[in-house]
Chain A
């Protein structure tokens, strides 16, 4: 009996230790604040990186933590982007209202499609997510009278934040707006993933049968995590619409889903920060390499992917963790 109590308190201590914010984490967000002052001319690009980071984080929740491989996550991003865009072009220009509605719309779509994922093998799931993504792209493409088709949705006018701060050309308001939303979403996701619920998700990823045996309702877990991820992706899409005042049809494209997967892998899955770091690395390198020649970029990315899958699992953050572990073990050897 007392052994059980001791064990339980040990588990609590473990969870509490995970829960406290580490200096590196605080530093990460301070750096993002510092970007506002350090690079006032590239804030538009910086907000795009942040938005993509949020989007990648939403993929990380289902891929890194729950272990669902999806090739159609852009569907929810696109639903969010179009919802926010349509709201704004029809006169409901308040940014927060747009954000909420977009999240809601993407959430409903995520909830409904999660039922399609509860059956079949990994490959079947992969195909269903891919199919839903492509289907939505075709819908947006055919319904040109509503969405603008391949020309994109024009006439998106975004109102002032709190009725005071207008979105400026240099993206100053936009960056701070995106940063605050990103932080709130991140804090929410972080606490969710470190809660017993997050641990349940991880056990589901590691071994479904055992998770079911110890009483984790895996179908229900899958449904709500997929819905939450869809909501976050939808909000990210809405942020992109609001900060650029435009919706292009590429928000729904397969390329976006595939790129996102790559970013997350580069950054490292199930690390919370992997999405942001991967998005930053991906977009920065893409931006500089595409200026030389887009084909070089694709070739380089392909080689990188092959090398990473063969030799470097865990991405940037996984590599750093391995390096830290290596240094620690060296030190321990020196001082036994």
Chain B
């Protein structure tokens, strides 16, 4: 009984990380239909930036997180301008190739600069260890993760539902041409959303160094998971993405815990079945492009 709760707890923590990293991809995919396989690169960049900031510049863990968020968001703006923008109207194939190219370059670059090993991260002392809650020993860091993610989710939902910019995003996702003719600058909306999403991915990558690990193959290793979360959740839907991320997180941890010999088999099988049952995602829009 305890082990089941423990597995669910670990799965939820893992799923929250997946959510923070993937939510940006979900919105940009719903908004522009850009098949960006390289989204994990931003998470990887966030992870490496955090490790460098902490070890080289001596900045604390909590202080480094906002820096990572801003830096990755700004960096992604440059990439959006130079590489992504010319290809918005292209075929999926071209977009896939571009993002595979970006993955290759960053993987080789990270390998060259940081070496092929796992990167260590020093988590502040008050976040290490366990805390006893209702007879369960829960990792403090994972609790911290879930709190951060809950905060981000509330912020995102509030932003999307209650602010003017959120309304613009929703309008652009629903009907791009109509939004444009109403005077919304969809390109600008997209640019900002892209930066925000990439920044969140960077933050997720930084938070996840301790849980997911960090090595040059990060972007490829978790590529399937990020895409999976987005496709299953339905592109453009924040709640759908959250639901899918938590579900997949729990399923993956449970699979690895109870039937380790099956390896990653369960997650792939689950993905195919879910995609066949819900071709537009769990909470996706029927008319999604």
Contacts and interface: CB of A to CB of B under 8 A. Distances in A.
A224 interface: no
Contacts of B275: 120, 124, 127-128, 131
A310 interface: yes
Contact of B289 (A121, A132, A265, A299): A121
B228 A309 contact: no
B92 interface: yes
B248 to A, nearest CB: 13
Interface residues of B, number: 45
A126 B263 contact: no
A247 interface: no
A298 interface: yes
B227 interface: yes
Interface string A85-123: 000000000000000000000000000000010011111
Contacts, number: 122
Interface residues of A, number: 41
B125 interface: no
Interface in A30-79: 63, 69, 71
Contact of B103 (A71, A132, A302): A302
Interface in A264-312: 265, 295-296, 298-299, 301-306, 308-310
Nearest to A297: B108
Interface in A123-158: 123-124, 126-128, 130-132, 134-135, 138-139, 141-142
B83 A306 contact: yes
Contact of A131 (B83, B104, B108, B271): B271
A239 interface: no
Interface in A295-336: 295-296, 298-299, 301-306, 308-310, 313
B254 interface: no
A123 B235 contact: yes
A313 B91 CA distance: 12
Interface SS of chain A:
helix
Contacts of A304: 101
Contact of B112 (A123, A127, A128, A299): A299
A228 interface: no
Interface in A7-50: none
A255 B191 CA distance: 31
Contacts of A119: 276, 279
A254 B93 CA distance: 16
Contacts of B83: 306, 310
B86 interface: yes
B76 to A, nearest CB: 16
Contacts of B108: 295-296, 298-299, 302
A58 to B, nearest CB: 16
B282 to A, nearest CB: 13
Contacts of B44: none
Contact of B102 (A127, A138, A302): A302
B264 interface: yes
B289 to A, nearest CB: 7
Contact of B279 (A124, A135, A261, A295): A124
A306 B272 contact: no
A131 B111 CA distance: 27
Interface string A226-265: 0000000000000000000000000000100010011001
Contacts of A138: 262-265, 268
A262 B288 CA distance: 29
Interface in A153-181: none
A87 B227 CA distance: 37
Nearest to B87: A309
A72 to B, nearest CB: 10
Given A128-B272, A299-B112, A306-B102, A123 B279 contact: no
Contact of A299 (B35, B90, B94, B109): B109
A308 B272 CA distance: 32
A265 B97 CA distance: 9
A74 B231 CA distance: 22
A127 B35 contact: no
A258 B98 CA distance: 12
Given A142-B262, A306-B102, A123 B94 contact: no
A280 B64 CA distance: 47
B100 A120 contact: no
B218 to A, nearest CB: 15
Nearest to A258: B100
A131 B265 CA distance: 10
A121 B288 contact: yes
Contacts of B1: none
Contacts of A116: 272, 276
Most buried by B among A123, A138, A310: A123
Nearest to A134: B268
Contact of B268 (A121, A135, A261, A265): A135
A280 B112 CA distance: 27
Given A131-B224, A262-B100, A303-B101, 5 more contacts: A127-B271, A258-B100, A298-B111, A306-B101, A309-B97
27 contacts: A69-B96, A121-B288, A122-B92, A123-B35, A123-B92, A123-B235, A124-B279, A126-B92, A127-B271, A128-B272, A130-B224, A131-B275, A132-B272, A134-B224, A135-B269, A141-B263, A142-B261, A262-B97, A265-B97, A298-B111, A302-B100, A302-B101, A302-B105, A305-B97, A305-B100, A306-B83, A309-B90
Interface of A: 63, 69, 71, 116, 119-124, 126-128, 130-132, 134-135, 138-139, 141-142, 254, 258, 261-262, 265, 295-296, 298-299, 301-306, 308-310, 313
Closest 3 pairs between A and B when the two form their complex, measured CB to CB: A302-B104, A305-B101, A302-B105
